[in-house]
């Protein structure tokens, strides 16, 4: 990708952590931090810029919405964060207003890639797609890339192997109705249950793991008030695949058009991510119960989208 300018809109905990991850990664040549609280953006930019002697050359500054127009990638993290006891869907009306207001000031084109990383992520991704009129491959959300990493982490801990050797994916909503794809999970080409037998560890309690993955965000929020480190690295990983044109398969959230009989919403499916954005999502063979759960997840999202009267 020739244009390695990245704009981060919203520099709260997630946005600032994302900016830090990107600055350290060396992926971007220019990093614009945009926030309605200008002083906050200026402070974050100054703090990061002072690391110039320790990182690869990069121009870091506090910008405005006009700075998004010539950015190769815009990462949208603005909005209210979850409080203890809140679901992601509880943030819908507030964060939709913030998203809509910001997008009207950006005037984006198909030269930009817009990545949504604000909750409820899938509904806001669909709203952004409708509001901008950009092609579907250019607007997508960070989706269940983080959720899939949580799934892999828990399985790796149980099986005693590195998380990178675990292939396991979460699809559907980035939220309470998400679906763990147990039927496709494997380690070294071996199904998880068989692998446990091979290495002599107890069978995995699937319901318990499902609960751990689904509730991970709530557990962290109840302890420290917010989640931001892991999601910032998930966003960095997505940007890496875009900038390097990697064709990496990631479970990002985007428009679904007939896959598994689903349409009219954005949700996460394994998709090829490259310099053009999110490629056509892969329709993998799922177990019957997984496919049914995915359709239920889509229905949750469609109802939320309908409430916005887009």
Cα 210 to Cα 120: distance, rounded to the nearest angstrom: 20
| CA 143 to chain CA centroid, nearest Å | 4
194 is catalytic: no
**Tokens coding 75:** 């990462």
Which pair of structure tokens corresponds to residue 8? 């981060």
- What is the torsion angle, in degrees rounded to the nearest 10, for the CA atoms of residue 155, residue 159, residue 163 and residue 166? -70
- 64, exposed or middle or buried, with CB in 10 Å at 0-12, 13-18, 19+? middle
Active site residue: 37, 50, 167, 174, which one? 174
Chain centre to alpha carbon of residue 152: 16
Residue 83 and residue 80: Cα distance in Å, rounded?
9
Residues annotated as catalytic are 174
């Amino acid at each position: 990708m020739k244009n390695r300018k990245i704009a981060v809109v919203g520099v709260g905990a997630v946005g600032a952590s994302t900016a830090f991850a990107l600055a350290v990664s060396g992926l971007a040549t220019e990093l614009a931090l945009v926030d309605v609280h200008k002083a906050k953006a200026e402070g974050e930019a100054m703090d990061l810029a002072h690391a110039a002697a320790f990182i690869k050359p990069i121009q870091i500054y506090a910008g405005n919405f006009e700075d998004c127009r010539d950015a190769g990638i815009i990462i949208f993290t603005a909005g209210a964060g979850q409080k203890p006891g809140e679901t992601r869907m509880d943030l819908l009306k507030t964060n939709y207003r913030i998203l809509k207001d910001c997008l009207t000031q950006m005037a984006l084109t198909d030269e930009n890639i817009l990545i949504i990383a604000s909750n409820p992520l899938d509904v806001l991704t669909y709203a952004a797609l409708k509001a901008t009129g950009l092609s579907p491959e250019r607007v997508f959300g960070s989706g269940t890339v983080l959720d899939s990493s949580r799934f892999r982490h828990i399985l790796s801990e149980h099986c005693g192997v590195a998380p990178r050797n675990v292939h396991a994916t979460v699809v559907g909503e980035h939220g309470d109705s998400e679906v763990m794809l147990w039927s496709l999970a494997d380690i070294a080409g071996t199904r998880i249950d068989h692998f446990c037998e091979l290495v002599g560890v107890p069978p995995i309690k699937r319901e318990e793991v499902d609960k751990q993955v689904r509730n991970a965000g709530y557990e962290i929020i109840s302890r420290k008030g917010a989640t931001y480190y892991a999601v910032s690295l998930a966003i960095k990983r997505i940007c890496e695949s875009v900038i390097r044109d990697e064709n990496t398969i990631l479970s990002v959230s985007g428009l679904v058009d007939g896959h598994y009989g689903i349409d009219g919403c954005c949700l996460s499916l394994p998709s090829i991510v490259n310099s053009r954005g999110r490629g056509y999502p892969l329709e993998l063979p799922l177990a019957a119960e997984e496919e049914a759960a995915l359709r239920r997840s889509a229905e949750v999202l469609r109802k939320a989208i309908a409430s916005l009267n887009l």
